[in-house]
Structure 1
Amino acid sequence: MNPLVSIWTQPKETIRYVLEYKTWSYSFFILFLSSIGVGMTSFAETDLFSSLPLIAIILLGILSTFIGSIISLFIAAGLYTWVGKWLRGNGNFNDMLQMVPIASIPLIWLMPINLIIVIIFGKALFTDSYAMLSGTSAILLLVNLLTLGVSIYSTVILSKGIGIVHHFSSWRGFGVIMIIVGMFLVLLTPFIVILMFILFASIV
């Protein structure tokens, strides 16, 4: 079984295969590949590091995405394990840590598309002024919509994976994700309210 291909048609079987036959190094390799797929255009239209060579901007994007993904992986795996146990799951952190990167496999398939965009537009892709051109903006919009669609499917895979690790349904796995999202919204709401109050006060 090739997880890079089978994840599209057999997500549950692929996750079980990886958990049974692969090691952590494979999951981290998947995480690295997905970081390349997404990271190479992560600074598009930002005008950040515009003084650097194109290759340096791309490498910084990939590196920052990979580091952020690793940090997020450990936090997410801990939360999915913890919250899953609230819902009577019996999974463990190690299996969750190995499973979570598998949900990012669809993002790897964005790599050729983003590479073509970088080749066509070059360094101009990463400057804010160039983003004003309608052609570039339209293409990036299409890519962003594609990325959104792929990300939604990754969430479906993640829900199934959480269910497999905790030995309960995929819907309950999706519930774990929603509970965590709700927790963050509750925690962030006071800060958002305070920020809006400060902005409103400054305008008045």
Structure 2
Amino acid sequence: MNEFETPQQEKINPFFTIWLHPKKTTRYVIQEKSWLYVIILLSIGYIGSLFTGYMDIGIYPNFPLWAMILITIILSPIVGLISNAISAFCTWLIGKMFSGKGTYAQLFKASSLSVWPFIVLIPIYLLWMLIDPNSLMNMSEDFGAFAIIGVLFTFIATIWSIVITIAAIAEAHQFSNWKAFFTLLIFAIIIAIIFILIGVIIGIIIVLLGLSYYM
């Protein structure tokens, strides 16, 4: 019998229980929820996650709000699936170093829960865009009252996302929260190193192109 299987699974509403019982919710989603359910919630979560990327992006008012929202909705399932697939693979692989028992499929479902807190941000960011878009996309120039509210909710959602991610990894791999924390930490370090290397490579290419231009 799989570690997650129980004689009778209690029926819960995952979106409500995720906030206070992330492990219980992870177990329920892994056991009871379909892939369609997981992908839909993942895609919706990434709408909120992508919205946070508009902070101080500086493209307003040159780029229309309706286009930003439409692009975000279109890209959310694509970005969500790719990002979650990579995240699940890495946490599955790293977790094996700590004797984790989870399968890749279980880690994929578990990892998808990390963006659920960002669903709450969707109405906040939509209101922010409609009421005071300049303070969102030109925050360094116009940091208003709505910006304070938006940043506060974003901070809370991000912290809770980390908490949920640790609990979800721990539940999927059937090991302690500390092992899940270090699994996530190692994954974050690897991603940071990759981005730094990419930045260095791009910088070197730009310098070389600049030198070749003046030669």
Aligned mates of 2:96, 2:109 — CA distance in 1: 18
Aligned to 2:183: 176
Aligned to 2:68: 57
**What do the CA deviations read for 1:24-72 (whole angstroms, capped 9, x no partner)?**
1111111111122233463354243744542112111333344222211
- Secondary structure of 1:132 counterpart: coil
**What do the CA deviations read for 1:172-202 (whole angstroms, capped 9, x no partner)?**
1111011122233445555667759x98xx9
Decide whether the 8 Å contact of 2:52 with 2:154 is kept in 1: no
Aligned residues: 195
Find out whether 1:37 has 2:48 as its counterpart: yes
The normalised TM-score by structure 2 is 0.77
Aligned mates of 1:42, 1:81 — CA distance in 2: 27
Out of 30-39 and 61-70, give the one that drifted further: 61-70
* Alpha-carbon shift at residue 22 of structure 1 (Å): 0.4
| Identity across matched positions, percent | 29
> What residue identity is the alignment partner of 1:111?
I
Change in CA separation of 1:188 and 1:29 when aligned onto 2, cut-off 3 Å: closer
Aligned to 1:165: 172
Q: Can you give the 5+ residue segments of structure 1 that lack an aligned partner in the other structure?
A: none
Q: Can you give the 5+ residue segments of structure 2 that lack an aligned partner in the other structure?
A: 1-11, 211-215
Aligned mates of 1:149, 1:2 — CA distance in 2: 22
Aligned mates of 1:182, 1:168 — CA distance in 2: 21
Match among 120, 123, 143 for residue 131 of structure 2: 120
Change in CA separation of 1:40 and 1:179 when aligned onto 2, cut-off 3 Å: closer
- Secondary structure of 1:17 counterpart: helix
> What residue identity is the alignment partner of 2:95?
G
> What residue identity is the alignment partner of 1:168?
F
Change in CA separation of 1:125 and 1:61 when aligned onto 2, cut-off 3 Å: farther
The normalised TM-score by structure 1 is 0.81
Aligned mates of 2:77, 2:31 — CA distance in 1: 25
- Secondary structure of 2:20 counterpart: coil
Aligned to 1:20: 31
Aligned mates of 1:25, 1:55 — CA distance in 2: 27
Find out whether 1:83 has 2:94 as its counterpart: yes
Match among 144, 150, 156 for residue 149 of structure 1: 156
* Alpha-carbon shift at residue 96 of structure 1 (Å): 0.8
Match among 70, 77, 82 for residue 71 of structure 1: 82
Change in CA separation of 1:121 and 1:20 when aligned onto 2, cut-off 3 Å: same
Aligned to 1:102: 113
More helix by share: 1
Find out whether 1:10 has 2:21 as its counterpart: yes
Change in CA separation of 1:49 and 1:71 when aligned onto 2, cut-off 3 Å: farther
